[in-house]
Structure 1
Amino acid sequence: MPQDGNSRYLRCMKTPRYTPLALSLPSTVPFVGPETQERSRGKAFAARLGANENIFGPSPLAINAMQQAAEEIWKYGDAQSHDLVQALAAHHGIPAQNILVGEGIDGLLGYLVRLLIGPGDAVVTSQGAYPTFNYHVAGFGGALHMVPYRYDHEDIQALFAKAAEVDAKLVYLSNPDNPMGSWHRGQDIVAALADLPEGALLLLDEAYVECAPTGTAAPVDINDPRVIRMRTFSKAYGMAGARVGYALAQADLILAFNKVRNHFGMNRTAQAGALAALQDQNWLTHVQGEIATARKHITEIAAENGLTALPSATNFVAVDCGQDGDFAKAVLDSLLAQDVFVRMPFAAPQNRCIRVSCGPDEDLALFAAALPVALAAARSACAADIAS
């Protein structure tokens, strides 16, 4: 059939005209969400213990505030998140000009990388640390340099030494750490800043700090230009679906975010919920107790199966499966097949572990029942591989 001119034009046009950087990137996402996995497998998980969510939920006051705010969802959210920023300033005892609210830490990471990193700029992180940060760096053409963990902790000295070696503009450190749950004392991080090379900014991700022992939060001077800290309402406050995070930094850096951020990106309902959650510290204390109890329960389940749970300052526990990443992946696959959703670190040697979120007794009971079956299946598969 003859084609008209418009059809021939459409066939010849090479649109959209992606940038060379976009063309060089793989079509991947940092994490495959549990909903995606449920659709693929054709059924829901019985226990959702893999997404580092706070399964104990948000403050009832936050739920009520969000329900009321839904009546005005026809309005855009406050572009300055004024009420929440003011409350955070009072909570932390710092000026409001040192605080920025954004669409979760993930959104703030993207804005920060956009502000600082161009093609070829050096960025330092740990091998196997939070992959969403790496995703943003790659998306802006940054050059990632990685150092290994040391005894399942992020190695601050190695990070800063690598930053000096490559003239890094940005250094990423999470404290407490994801995926291992390990942590450094805040005072030790502040002391180590003496070794941070000039011109490098330390991005200190404190997403799990409310779950951690006293003294974990780094007592950084809010006007120290070498550090930006990031916090979230997704973990201890139980509002992962609301996407509310915030940054604490020198006022000039906070102001610079206005050049690149989505000014109306914050959901009005989420703002109301975060404000109410912050004001309900009694609920936070309750959740912290539930997390501590669940960590102990996961540790006991691991021990009953001959495994070792790593000490954790987060709302999850890394369980050492005692062999290599292939064995841990076999354990993981069997747990998934038994409808128990967990995850595992993706870099050796940390990938010898599986990572289990803290949850209520009924969810952990399902994990406890599934784990010995998963270990037996993994050992059987390992024996078959050796025999072949």
Structure 2
Amino acid sequence: MSRPRFNSLIESLPALVPFVGPEAQERGRGQPFRARLGANESLFGPSPKALAAMRAAADGNWMYADPESHELRAALAEFHGVGLDNVVIGEGIDGLLGLAVKLAVELGSPVVTSDGTYPTFNFHVAGGGGRLVRVPYRDDKQDLGALVEATRSEEARILYVCNPDNPMGSFWGAAELNDLIAQLPDGVLLCLDEAYCDTARQADLLPVDVGNAQVLRFRTFSKAYGLAGARIGYCLGEAKVIRAFEKIRNHYGINRVGQIGALAALEDQEFLAEAVARIARARELIGAIARDNGLQPLSSAANFVTIDCGGDGDFAKRVLDALIAQDVFVRMPGVAPLNRCIRVSCGRDEDLAVLADTLPLALAAAR
């Protein structure tokens, strides 16, 4: 039987996904996890107002979503003090990053990122035929100076920075990021992935400035807002750059119920503040659990804590496997020396109680 002909780029790519989801792991194990602490979802859930709006919208699911996402874009524009034409909605940050790569990257175009940061971005670059230039972390943080240097020397099309960073949880404040932006070479597009910005110290966040056409800000309702399953993200940028997204985005890619839920979630900032406070408390609890077991938690501005297991990547992998064997889903960075760590998402007291019970057993098994 004849096979279809794929393009040469697709034929050259390895058969992989950025990570194996907890559902796939549960199918492989034949049983569910007791504590789901590996996907950086908000176990505290979304706003009750968002849930009510989504339930009420379910009967109208025979309709497509507004392809312009007008009401949500207008609300986000008002929230951030920008114009309607400075906002584009997408299928989570992942979908928008894929579009940004499509906008800027041609076959062989250099793209600069940190070696070990959010792997799905690399997935998009590979799929678009770009050439990844990976810059090592410095002291468990993205090395902004080295990233700019690599961007300049490689004449990169895109510089990707995740802040707060996944998987390490580290955070660069406005002063450092303004310095980075001031040093950007002409022509490069800075993709600033701010998925976890809602859980960082708000006074230290880089203010939104849509006047610089070289900077795109990517944000999401998947993390602190608790709507990961709705797949609603957005990008803020200069109007002409945002307009370019309209040429290539999937205009019916946003689900209607999710769009309505995101709007209600945005309007409930009181609930968001409560969720962020619970996340901050959970970070403290995870840190205490780590220290009680002789491990070192890293400082985090995200909705997870990365824990230094005190050994190498093989040891951390044994700890991870032992936790999974005890029905606790966590993850670990994939690149040395970051892979000496495991990463634990913030959860409810009952979730973290399971972690507290199982981590000593996992460490004993790993040793």
The letter of the residue matching 1:110 is G
The letter of the residue matching 2:64 is Y
Map of 1:366 onto structure 2: 354
The unaligned stretches of length 5 or more in structure 1 are 1-10, 380-388
Find 1:195's aligned residue among 158, 183, 186: 183
Q: C-alpha displacement at 1:323, in angstroms?
A: 0.6
Contact 1:190 1:219 in 2 (8 A): no
Find 1:126's aligned residue among 102, 114, 123: 114
What CA distance in whole angstroms lies between the structure 2 residues aligned with 1:213 and 1:124? 27
Q: C-alpha displacement at 1:210, in angstroms?
A: 0.3
Identity of aligned residues (%): 57
SS class of match (1:28): coil
Find 1:103's aligned residue among 76, 79, 91: 91
Q: C-alpha displacement at 1:192, in angstroms?
A: 2.1
Map of 1:6 onto structure 2: none
Find 1:42's aligned residue among 6, 30, 34: 30
What CA distance in whole angstroms lies between the structure 1 residues aligned with 2:203 and 2:193? 15
Q: Over residues 8-52 of structure 1, what are the superposed CA-to-partner deviations in whole Å (9 max), with x where a residue is unaligned?
A: xxx3x3x21011000000111101100000000000000000000
Map of 1:146 onto structure 2: 134
The letter of the residue matching 2:104 is L
Q: Over residues 123-142 of structure 1, what are the superposed CA-to-partner deviations in whole Å (9 max), with x where a residue is unaligned?
A: 00000011100000000100
Find 1:214's aligned residue among 173, 182, 202: 202
Map of 2:238 onto structure 1: 250
What CA distance in whole angstroms lies between the structure 2 residues aligned with 1:137 and 1:192? 22
The unaligned stretches of length 5 or more in structure 2 are none
The letter of the residue matching 2:178 is V
Contact 1:187 1:219 in 2 (8 A): no
Q: C-alpha displacement at 1:196, in angstroms?
A: 1.2
What CA distance in whole angstroms lies between the structure 1 residues aligned with 2:328 and 2:31? 12
Q: C-alpha displacement at 1:221, in angstroms?
A: 2.1
Q: C-alpha displacement at 1:214, in angstroms?
A: 2.3
SS class of match (2:88): strand
Q: C-alpha displacement at 1:194, in angstroms?
A: 2.0
Map of 1:378 onto structure 2: 366
Map of 2:50 onto structure 1: 62
Map of 1:296 onto structure 2: 284
SS class of match (2:310): coil
Map of 1:5 onto structure 2: none
Contact 2:80 2:208 in 1 (8 A): no
Find 1:178's aligned residue among 154, 157, 166: 166
TM-score by length of 1: 0.94
Map of 1:263 onto structure 2: 251
Q: Over residues 140-191 of structure 1, what are the superposed CA-to-partner deviations in whole Å (9 max), with x where a residue is unaligned?
A: 1000000001111111111110011110000000110000000000222012
Matched residue count = 367
Q: C-alpha displacement at 1:220, in angstroms?
A: 4.5
What CA distance in whole angstroms lies between the structure 2 residues aligned with 1:268 and 1:193? 36
What CA distance in whole angstroms lies between the structure 2 residues aligned with 1:64 and 1:120? 47
Contact 1:234 1:244 in 2 (8 A): yes
Q: 286-295 or 183-192, which moves further after superposition? A: 183-192
After superposing on structure 2, the runs of 4+ consecutive aligned residues of structure 1 that deviate more than 4 Å are none
TM-score by length of 2: 0.99
Find 1:83's aligned residue among 62, 66, 71: 71
SS class of match (2:191): strand
What CA distance in whole angstroms lies between the structure 2 residues aligned with 1:315 and 1:163? 29
Q: C-alpha displacement at 1:347, in angstroms?
A: 0.5
SS class of match (1:79): coil
Q: Over residues 319-360 of structure 1, what are the superposed CA-to-partner deviations in whole Å (9 max), with x where a residue is unaligned?
A: 110011000000000000000000000011111110000000
Q: C-alpha displacement at 1:223, in angstroms?
A: 1.3
